[in-house]
Amino acid sequence: MQREVPERSPKSALLSRRSFATAAGGALVALGVGQGLARSAEAEAQVSPGPRAAAAAADGPYTQAFLTQYEKIKNPDNGYFSADGIPFHSVETLIVEAPDHGHQTTSEAFSFWIWLEAAYGRVTGDWAPFNKSWEVAEASIIPPHIDQPTNDSYSPAKPATYAPEHPQVTSYPSELNPSVPVGSDPLAAELASSYGTMDVYGMHWLMDLDNVYGFGNKPGTGDELGPGKMASFINSYQRGAQESVWETVPQPTTDLFKYGGPNGYLDLFVKDASYAKQWKYTNAPDADARAVQAAYWALTWARAQGKEGQVAASVARAAKMGDYLRYSMFDKYFKKIGNCTSPTGCEAASGRDAQHYLLSWYYAWGGSTGTGGGWAWRIGDGIAHQGYQNPLAAWVLSTVPALIPKSPTAKGDWQKSLTRQLEFLRWLQSAEGGLAGGCSNSWDGQYGTPPAGTPTFYGMAYDWQPVYHDPPSNNWFGFQVWCMERVAQCYYVCGNATAKSVLDKWVAWAAEHTTVGADGSLRFPSPLRWPGAPDTWNAASPGANAGLHVAVVDYGDDVGVGAALAMTLIYYAAKSGDADAAGLAKALLDAMAGHADAQGIAVPETRRDYNRFDDPVHFPAGWSGTSPQGVKLGAGATFIGMRPWLKQEPGWPKVQAYLDGGAPPVFTYHRFWAQAALALSFASYAELLADEGGPGGGDDTTAPTIPAGLKVTATTSTSVSLSWSASTDDTGVAAYDVYRDGIPVGSPTATSYTDPGLSAATAYRYRVAARDAAGNASALSAEVTGTTQAGGGTGGAKVQYKNNDSGATDNAIRMSLKVDNTGGGALSLSTLTVRYYFTGDGGPSSYTTWCDWAMLGGANITHRVVAMSSPKAGADRYLEVGFTAGAGSVTAGGGSGEIQLRVHKSDWSNFNEADDYSRGTNSSFAEASKITAYVGGELVWGMEP
């Protein structure tokens, strides 16, 4: 899912942004191609002028699949667009990820819309929808002058006032500190000279299209109009890396103090001597770069049709956007890049010394509304995430004449950025092939000192979870495919050797962990974890990163992620000739097509994180205010309490039942970006690989015979081995799909398979199907049961700990734990408990505990506070952490992944943790001998107090 980043302003709090937010032959029939192309003339007339005649010439099955998916997206009855013609984040409103309801929109959605219309222009020759998407963007999500009115007061010599970020929301508001030196902005003057304005041309990341929050920051008004139906700029994240969507306080982008408290919403985030009414915006660089990428393809395809002039104005907009996008290449406060370990010790920069040339998590700008004197500010960001890099956009903006920006230094900046981005990805590539997180020029958001031994990239510290920590930012496989899709397109266009080497390794890793079942089921990596660290970067002699690893924690079938994976494989295969990659792309597309419904393509999702709907939201002590909708804000407010309209949604009873102790709710969502990505993947496959013969390939429609003689040949405490007789086929069997308990787990080419990583003394059911190269699949074999052997004793475990709250005397104990299996066999986590010892320091005898996030899923973690019958020094209670059966088991050498925990007293009074037995001060993971672990009730780790 897309996520955010926090940032701070010189006069008050800035905005934040999480961009945020994974082979059935003949499956394209399920898309309803004929039905889609026969939709009513009335619906079609609202899509674009005259598409029917243009579409009629495109009769290949994957082009038809693109057109069918396109028409589902553009059909007004399906609900993808607002009354203003702006794409919603999702059709469904009750959805919480980075946007906290579905009828918000993001710059990400806009960028996918622009790209979708570019592909439509290629297929139909109709470029009006592509131009329209840019016109709507310019009229809405790109703030016009009236919404950023005081840029003429901006001083490039003093771009912003420093305010540190903090690890926890409880540390906010953050105090402005004008004594910390900041550098100068080298872009502002040349941008103003090139475009005749001091305004910034970039998309703001978030809008509330139904204005349910009621701020009424309608584009083109420069005002806070209040409740009413309109598209409205808003923002949410703003309080440190640990702030999740469940802890946000939505706020207006133009804050005129009409709502919130006496200072509007500003004093929730930044502490200042006085507060001025102001405007502020945050840009998500990956979205702007994707819009540039889409403009390049539109230019390429229109030129091939002899219609370059029809897209010239939109392409010029993209070039201009790319000019301002360079703000994402600079440190937040324009300080020097590299070895920044204190706010005052990190030097202010001038010129290019503050430029890291990567696409960072955001850039932002803002200013006063003019009352009490004009002022304005701009900041970049010193934190870079692999998932945001776009080497294709860098190549385009430095190479393609129509897209080279006007500013005199822009071409050189993007040339250097292309090289730097590819070096960055090479530096982050694990031994297996996955890409680790990123780097920071400002550790903890306050130019802190990284842990000793932290590797660096041009002096910037490695961070496996750059930007946000709840959940860890690089654990989502979607960031892998979003980045690699762009690398693959860059490789396809320019043949860059570094891009190819990164792709070769990544594609092999991703393919190894991707399974497409004979029944159309999908399975590719979902959450990931990142043991180890890369080598410190040496451009002259890059290291092999033998100590950096990626582990797949679990698997998923998110169709948006699957579409991006397919797109990566398509472009890679088209350039390299890799037939296996092309075949896997086709299998993914055909399988996803089998999940079509009336609104698009989607699969059910189990939302265990929805147990956080009733989480409390922190407000500073004594702060109170009122939202435009009359909701009281302050102590005691909860996520759902601040958003009461969500309880009126049809799906709310499922959420409420979960909050009351029932099963996690299951929803099927139609996210705009995912639906557009699916359409684009069909179009790309048709353009670059094949669009004839239909899914399944050619005229081969004969399935292999059913595998016979399936049997269990061996078992251990962690594995089951199988064998079966070979199937026959008129063209040959390509692979066998092995199913465990109805889920695809492997696709061997031989007639045997060993299924690893299982729990001891557990029965598993297996069936096998055969598949040929055309995608024809046999029926499933007869079922056999394999039971793993009992484990050998209790095994071993060790506990790692880090402190998530540097304050020892506040009202919360916050920590992260990891438990690693040190035994020789699989460890069933339901047999494991962990104890963290502390003192209550008076106050009530009752406590509230939370699992804020866990790699295994918060619903699979149990937690409670237990009073000790015999108190010890530093311990009269312990937090006991356990695991449900749903947590499964971990193999020898494996681990639980991170578990983020929190403890409060029932009256929220303060602790004094300084003397607590188990507490450590380390802010990164380290072994913790004063935290104990038990397997089957037997102590296997640590020392009890």
- Tokens 């899912």 sit at which residue? 1
pLDDT tier for residue 699 given thresholds of 50, 70 and 90: low
Supply angle C-alpha 412, 418, 423, rounded to 5.
130
Gap between the Cα atoms of 767 and 784, Å rounded: 7
pLDDT at 59: 67
Per-residue pLDDT tens digits for 184-243: 999 999 999 999 999 999 999 999 999 999 999 999 999 999 999 999 999 999 999 999
Sequence-ordered alpha helix ranges (H) in 718-825: none
Cβ contacts of residue 229 below 8 Å, gap of 6+?
83, 210, 211
840-854 mean pLDDT: 87
Gap between the Cα atoms of 15 and 270, Å rounded: 11
Per-residue pLDDT tens digits for 337-360: 999 999 999 999 998 999 999 999
554 is an active site residue:
no
CA dihedral 736, 739, 740, 746 (to 10 degrees): 50
pLDDT tier for residue 58 given thresholds of 50, 70 and 90: low
**Any long-range contacts for 460-465 (C-beta under 8 Å, 24+ apart)?**
460/337, 460/338, 460/356, 460/382, 460/384, 462/436, 462/437, 462/438, 462/533, 462/534, 463/383, 463/437, 463/438, 463/439, 464/436, 464/437, 464/530, 464/533, 465/241, 465/437
For residue 46, pLDDT beyond 50? no
789-816 mean pLDDT: 82
Q: Catalytic residue among 223, 504, 519, 597, which?
A: 519
924-935 mean pLDDT: 89
Per-residue pLDDT tens digits for 756-780: 777 777 889 999 999 887 778 898 9
For residue 611, pLDDT beyond 80? yes
Per-residue pLDDT tens digits for 657-674: 999 999 999 999 999 999
Gap between the Cα atoms of 628 and 495, Å rounded: 54
482-502 mean pLDDT: 97
488-493 mean pLDDT: 97
Gap between the Cα atoms of 416 and 81, Å rounded: 38
Give the whole-number percent of the chain exceeding pLDDT 70. 92
Beta carbons of 595 and 602 less than 8 angstroms apart: yes
Cβ contacts of residue 96 below 8 Å, gap of 6+?
245, 246, 609, 610, 613
Per-residue pLDDT tens digits for 252-301: 999 999 999 999 999 999 999 999 999 999 999 999 999 999 999 999 99
What is the pLDDT of the chain when averaged over all its residues?
89
pLDDT at 737: 86
pLDDT tier for residue 923 given thresholds of 50, 70 and 90: confident
Beta carbons of 15 and 235 less than 8 angstroms apart: yes
